[in-house]
């Protein structure tokens, strides 16, 4: 398992790929590392977590050898970003089942809503060290 908090993301999904620079820009302390699930390391981590390596439907945050999925991953990530983003944590008042249902509606339709890349994002030299 990674030693830094690591976000596993779908590198082919335009929404997911946009999420990565969004987080990087708001993570001045470089807390998070990133790993595309299509990469060899991403496939290895999915296998370690017992997740399907071919059909990836959720963002995953790995932190302290524990995996967080769906809305819980989202809220853990935004809680560590610079202001005002942690304020979105107020939405945790909704039950986990409802939050995950909302998350799943977006995740299951992400390619239709936002599109799909035919390639994975290639990070610039400035942020290359943030990727596994």
| pLDDT value at 11 more than 70 | yes
Average pLDDT, the chain: 86
More confident residue, 120 or 63: 63
**Predicted confidence (pLDDT) at residue 108 exceeds the cutoff of 80:** no
Mean pLDDT (whole number) for 6-28: 87
Q: Are 70 and 58 in contact (CB under 8 A)?
A: yes
| Percentage of residues in the chain having pLDDT higher than 70 | 92
Average pLDDT over residues 93-120: 81
Q: Which residues pair with residue 33 across a beta bridge?
A: 6
Report the predicted TM-score, pTM, of the whole model to 2 decimal places: 0.85
Beta-strand pair 60-63/6-9: antiparallel
Let me know how long the chain is.
132
- Do 53 and 46 touch, CB atoms closer than 8 A? yes
C-alpha distances (whole Å) from 127 to each of 31, 81, 103 are 13, 17, 27
- Give tens-digit pLDDT for 51-104: 888 777 778 999 998 999 999 999 999 999 999 999 999 999 999 999 999 988
What is the CA 126 to chain-centroid distance, rounded? 20
Question: What is the model's pLDDT at position 98?
Answer: 96
Contact between residue 121 and residue 15 where contact means Cβ atoms under 8 Å apart: no
Rama region for 72: left / alpha / beta (φ>0; ψ in -120 to 50; rest)? alpha
Domain ranges of the chain: 6-130
Tell which wins on pLDDT, 119 or 40.
40
CA 67/CA 92 separation, integer angstroms: 18
């Amino acid at each position: 398992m990674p030693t830094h908090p690591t976000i596993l993301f779908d590198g082919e999904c335009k929404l997911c790929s946009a999420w990565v620079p969004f987080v990087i820009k708001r993570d001045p302390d470089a807390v998070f590392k990133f790993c595309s699930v299509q990469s060899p390391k991403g496939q290895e981590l999915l296998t370690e977590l017992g997740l399907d390596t071919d059909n990836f439907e959720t963002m995953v945050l790995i932190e302290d050898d524990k995996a967080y999925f769906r809305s819980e991953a989202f809220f853990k990530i935004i809680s560590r970003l610079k202001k005002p983003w942690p304020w979105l944590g107020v939405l945790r008042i909704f039950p986990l089942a409802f939050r995950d249902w909302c998350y799943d509606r977006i995740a299951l339709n992400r390619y239709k809503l936002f599109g799909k890349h035919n390639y994975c994002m290639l990070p610039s030299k400035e942020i290359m060290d943030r990727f596994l």
